[in-house]
Amino acid sequence: MIETPSRILVVDDEPSITEFVSYALKKEGYEADVVDNGEDAFALASSNNYDLFVLDIMLPGMDGYELCRRLRSKTTAPVLFLSARDTELDKVVGLEIGGDDYLAKPFGVRELIARVRALLRRGQGGEFPGASNSITASGITLDEDAHTAAGDHGEIDLTPREFELLASLMKSAGKVVSREDLLRDAWGWEYLTETKTVDTHIKRLRDKIHAAGYDPGLVETVRGYGYRFKA
Amino acid sequence: MIETPSRILVVDDEPSITEFVSYALKKEGYEADVVDNGEDAFALASSNNYDLFVLDIMLPGMDGYELCRRLRSKTTAPVLFLSARDTELDKVVGLEIGGDDYLAKPFGVRELIARVRALLRRGQGGEFPGASNSITASGITLDEDAHTAAGDHGEIDLTPREFELLASLMKSAGKVVSREDLLRDAWGWEYLTETKTVDTHIKRLRDKIHAAGYDPGLVETVRGYGYRFKA
DNA sequence: AGAGATTGTCATAATTATGTTACTTGCTAT
DNA sequence: ATAGCAAGTAACATAATTATGACAATCTCT
């Protein structure tokens, strides 16, 4: 199946966020354009065919809601809102306006990509029930939809964070992933968390992998660089 | 694929560092300009198109953060910060300002180049998933992503320093590399280390190569000059 | 509200890596 | 052959990194 990459427009006035988001999207194979205000966003959207919009609610001038309302007159492409706070009010308003999904800051790369993928799939003629969204390596399969990890010996029960962590590692199976990258992927861009915290989660992850009857050595330590999931 | 060399602006007031950095960058094929203060840097950046900035945080007059903030209004080119200390505060501030990556002094050539490459790749629309990052010579392959060294007989387990050392040698396979150059590459510019230390690491490296079933003679001694990895 | 799960941080232990020194071996030029 | 330098080696102390266990704070359900 030949696929042309989906085009995404990212609208946010904070460079640190647009950069984080566009980097994550590009790495995933999407085409991403960035603008820092609603006016330019609307102009760009009018002259281009975007498959998805990622909008911050708080924007100088025309805010995200207003922009979304206007976009709706032009296109049916899905809209993913970013919000500073995960307040109930925002959520309701956003969804009423025609926003399709919601992401509260701070969010990790993996969470972002998951939402984007879901929205794009939805847009392109419904979901494919068979096309499960999973990662497999070294006998472990991670089902991203069901949020489960399992292998021959049955399921490994993981907390959300542990799941994200394992997913980050397995996605780069065979490659070293630094603690910083893991924090970016599984935690978020504003990782105020200590890199040491990753160590603790790795330990817990290994324990659970072990308890479920698998080899805890699947998560390898690469001294001085980070961790690596055995390929 | 024809590629025009990326242009990089290095800003630091310490000549020893700018020299070290620009030398390393040029050797790698980049075009590097150097200035020792924020004002000149901003002026140069305004009249030229740089693909990347390397900024020291501590600068006389306008400091690195301030410079970065101003650059952000001109360009979206990535910024790599150099910091004297790897403090948490610095990290947060740097990321807020729009810094893209961080390098704590002292750093080695290889580490610097790795970061620069990553940042430039990031800007140019994502990475090529298949393009693995490796060096091969005389039957040994060094995979920089997986951080492994291996050949037909399997993997050679190396410490960080040994890995860097071997990488430096293999990158110049067939050529003699002096102890001084090895220290610069794998240790850093402020090598307060004795050149004799290299000998010790070479010995350990050979031992491990031998233990893994390969010819320790792959690392040749060039009496009076340094070492050479067999081509 | 309360029980239980989840999460981040810290202190400490265990492990591994690193740099230096002192000593040995070996090469090279006279 | 041998003095003199260069490189190899082994041992050691220190430094750096990671693993682990315990704790408190927070979150999530009922």
pLDDT tens digits, one per residue of A141-164: 999 888 999 999 999 999 999 999
Distance (Å) from the alpha carbon of A13 to chain B's nearest alpha carbon: 12
Is residue A84 over pLDDT 80?
Answer: no
Give me the CATH topology for the region B7-123: Rossmann fold (3.40.50)
Give the DSSP per-residue string, B167-227: HHHHHTTTSEE-HHHHIIIII-TT--S-HHHHHHHHHHHHHHHHHTTS-GGGEEEETTTEE
Residues 202-221 of B with CB under 7 A from strand C: 204
Burial of B23 by CB count in 10 Å (0-12 exposed, 13-18 middle, 19+ buried)? middle
Distance (Å) from the alpha carbon of A177 to chain B's nearest alpha carbon: 9
- Which residues, 6 or more positions from A146, have their beta carbon under 8 angstroms from its beta carbon? none
Integer angstrom CA distances of residue B176 from A231, B29, B144, B197: 35, 20, 22, 18
Pick from B92, B125, B126: CB nearest A192? B92
For chain A, what is the mean pLDDT? 87
Is residue B126 over pLDDT 60?
Answer: no
Q: Is B200 left (phi over 0), alpha (psi -120 to 50) or beta?
A: alpha
Q: Which residues of B touch A225 (CB under 8 A)?
A: 147, 160
For chain B, what is the mean pLDDT? 88
Same fold, B7-123 and B134-229: no
A to B CB pairs, distance under 8 Å: 42
Task: Judge if the upstream peptide bond of residue A15 is cis by omega within 30 degrees of 0.
Answer: no
pLDDT at res. B213: 97
Mean pLDDT of B6-14: 95
Give the DSSP per-residue string, A194-215: -HHHHHHHHHHHHHHHHHTTS-
Give the DSSP per-residue string, B48-97: S--SEEEEES--SSS-HHHHHHHHHTT----EEEEESS--HHHHHHHHHH
Distance (Å) from the alpha carbon of A96 to chain B's nearest alpha carbon: 32
Mean pLDDT of A108-127: 80
Q: Which residues of A touch B95 (CB under 8 A)?
A: 16, 189-190
Asked if A191 CB < 7 A from strand C, the reply is no
Q: Are strands A154-156 and A176-177 parallel, antiparallel or unpaired?
A: unpaired
- Which residues, 6 or more positions from A145, have their beta carbon under 8 angstroms from its beta carbon? A132, A133, A134
Asked if B224 CB < 7 A from strand D, the reply is yes
Tell me the two tokens of residue A23.
Answer: 């980097």
User: How does pLDDT run across A50-66, given as a tens digit for each residue?
Assistant: 999 999 988 888 988 88
Question: A73-87, B85-99, B150-164: lowest mean pLDDT where?
Answer: B85-99
pLDDT at res. B204: 98
| DSSP structure class, residue A185 | I
Reduced to 3 states (helix: H, G, I; strand: E, B; else coil), residue A179 is helix
Q: Are A4 and B61 in contact (CB under 8 A)?
A: no
Is residue B3 over pLDDT 90?
Answer: no
Mean pLDDT of B173-178: 96
Band (A176; pLDDT cuts 50, 70, 90)? very high
User: How does pLDDT run across B179-199, given as a tens digit for each residue?
Assistant: 999 999 999 887 788 899 999
Integer angstrom CA distances of residue B221 from A207, B137, B138: 46, 17, 16
User: How does pLDDT run across B24-74, given as a tens digit for each residue?
Assistant: 999 999 999 999 999 999 999 999 999 999 999 888 889 888 898 899 888
Residues counted in chain A:
231
Question: Do A223 and B160 lie within an 8 Å CB cutoff?
Answer: yes
Q: Of the ranges A99-113, B31-45, B97-111, which is most confident?
A: B31-45
Q: Are B66 and B97 in contact (CB under 8 A)?
A: no
Asked if B193 CB < 7 A from strand D, the reply is no
Distance, in Å, from the CA atom of B150 to the CA atom of A87, rounded to the nearest integer, reads 52
Asked if B162 CB < 7 A from strand C, the reply is yes
Ranges of each domain in chain A: 7-123, 134-229
Mean pLDDT of A61-77: 90
Task: Judge if the upstream peptide bond of residue A60 is cis by omega within 30 degrees of 0.
Answer: no
**Phi/psi of residue A68, nearest 5 degrees:** -60, -45
Distance, in Å, from the CA atom of A123 to the CA atom of A77, rounded to the nearest integer, reads 7
CATH number of B134-229: 1.10.10.10
User: How does pLDDT run across A195-212, given as a tens digit for each residue?
Assistant: 999 999 999 999 999 999
Mean pLDDT of A215-224: 97
DSSP alpha helix (H) spans, chain A = 15-27, 38-47, 64-72, 88-97, 109-123, 160-171, 179-182, 195-211
A33 beta partners: A9
pLDDT at res. B88: 46
Identify the helix (H) or strand (E) that includes residue A3: none
Amino acid at B52: L
* pTM for the model: 0.88
Residues 157-216 of A with CB under 7 A from strand D: 196, 199-200, 202-203, 206
Cβ density class A180-195: b for 16+ within 10 Å, e for less = ebbbbbbbbbbbeeee
